[in-house]
Amino acid sequence: MAVRLRVEVLDNCVGCGICWTVCPKGVLTGTLRGRAVVLNDELCSGCFSCQENCPYNAIRVVVKQQP
Ligand code: SF4
Ligand code: SF4
């Protein structure tokens, strides 16, 4: 069964910029004090750096199984 990674930014994101700075795959972008934006989660490698480094627990990487 194949898996797909889905990257979700939650409403409590404050736009600190950490996640789009640490992402090695260019999945994320944003503007400071805005909210992080997911450009293309098909590029995500599943390293979880964004999730682990967000001080607000405002981003999560969800593993979805595909039939
Ligand atoms: S690290 Fe967290 S709070 Fe900062 S921009 Fe990313 S999702 Fe938002
Ligand atoms: S899990 Fe890694 S590759 Fe995927 S969006 Fe987060 S930092 Fe980028």
CA distance linking residue 50 with residue 57, whole number of Å:
9
Report which bound ligand comes closest to the CA of 13: 1
- Domain covering 2-66 in this structure, CATH number: 3.30.70.20
Residue bearing the CA closest to ligand 2, atom 8: 23
Q: What is the pLDDT of residue 1?
A: 75
Per-chain mean pLDDT for the chain: 96
In this prediction, residues 42-53 reach a mean pLDDT of: 98
Task: Confirm or reject: Cβ of 17 under 6 Å from ligand 1.
Answer: yes
Residue 61 Cα distances to 2, 19, 40, angstroms: 16, 12, 13
Ligand 1 atom closest to the CA of 57, numbered from 1: 2
* List of long-range contacts for 12-15, beta carbons under 8 Å, 24+ apart: 12/56, 12/57, 12/58, 13/54, 13/56, 13/58, 13/59, 14/56, 14/58
Query: For the whole model, what pTM was predicted?
Result: 0.94
Q: Residues 7, 38: contact at Cβ < 8 Å? A: yes
Going by pLDDT thresholds of 50, 70 and 90, the confidence category of residue 46 is very high
Residue 64 has pLDDT above 80, yes or no: yes
